[in-house]
Structure 1
């Protein structure tokens, strides 16, 4: 399965904050949306990503105040991205290797979606279930089975 197929199923909703927003505003938005990360955008250009992990490691554990710390101060600015034509398996590999949970999807330098580890796992499980069902159908139909 390709990323574009996954986005067709889950939708292309993109939730973002500005680099100048406070970390508190970003965390508040994540809580409202029940999500674990937001892309950081400026003039429709991807500048970074901020996650719950960034908040934990760069605000709470450093003794910073979330209301007075700007997103740009703690965001991850080296963002790993994928394209709509990349495979879901590649996404799983990237997420595992880089220890990340969210991948922005870029098409011609434009952000067209974001996928999470949950989206990827759900897709893999769905594909495996479909393969198992197809194999069961094949076996029970007797097609090509000499027995």
Structure 2
């Protein structure tokens, strides 16, 4: 399974803020779209990602205020990204090793979507269910002729 299959099922919505947006505006947007992270984009260039974890670690725990702090001050700048042709297994490995929950999908330096750990888990479960159903049908003699 490849990342593009996840994007084809879930859609390619990209929720983002600019580097000079306030953290408050970013958090409000996360709440509006019910997401845990936003890409930080300048024009069509990926500059970083801001997550709930960034907010916790770099605003709340450092005593900053979300209405006066800009996203660029707290965003993660070294963004781990994947390509549409990368495998779901690679995504699981990256998310586990790097302890991240969101991966921008980039094709020729253009952001084409974002996948979350929930998207990956849902895809893996659906694939495993399909394989189990096929094996049950085969064992039970219900395979196609």
TM range (shorter): over 0.9
Aligned residues: 143
Q: Secondary structure at the match of 1:65?
A: coil
For residues 58-113 of structure 1, what are the alpha-carbon distances to aligned partners after superposition, in whole Å with 9 as ceiling and x for unaligned?
00000000000000000000000000000001000000000000000000000000
Summarize the Cα distance change of 1:84–1:142 in structure 2 as closer, same or farther, 3 Å threshold.
Answer: closer
For residues 22-52 of structure 1, what are the alpha-carbon distances to aligned partners after superposition, in whole Å with 9 as ceiling and x for unaligned?
0000000001111000000001100000000
Counterpart in 1 of 2:126?
126
Distance 2:142 2:8 in 1: 35
Distance 1:6 1:142 in 2: 29
Q: Secondary structure at the match of 1:141?
A: coil
Structure number with greater Rg is: 1
Counterpart in 2 of 1:35?
35
**TM-score, normalised relative to structure 2:** 0.97
Counterpart in 1 of 2:85?
85
Q: Does 1:117 align with 2:117?
A: yes
Distance 1:134 1:94 in 2: 29
Distance 1:76 1:119 in 2: 21
Moved over 3 A (4+): none
**TM-score, normalised relative to structure 1:** 0.96
Q: Secondary structure at the match of 2:103?
A: strand
Counterpart in 2 of 1:21?
21
Unaligned ranges ≥5, structure 1: none
Distance 2:127 2:20 in 1: 41
1:142 Cα deviation from its structure 2 partner: 6.9
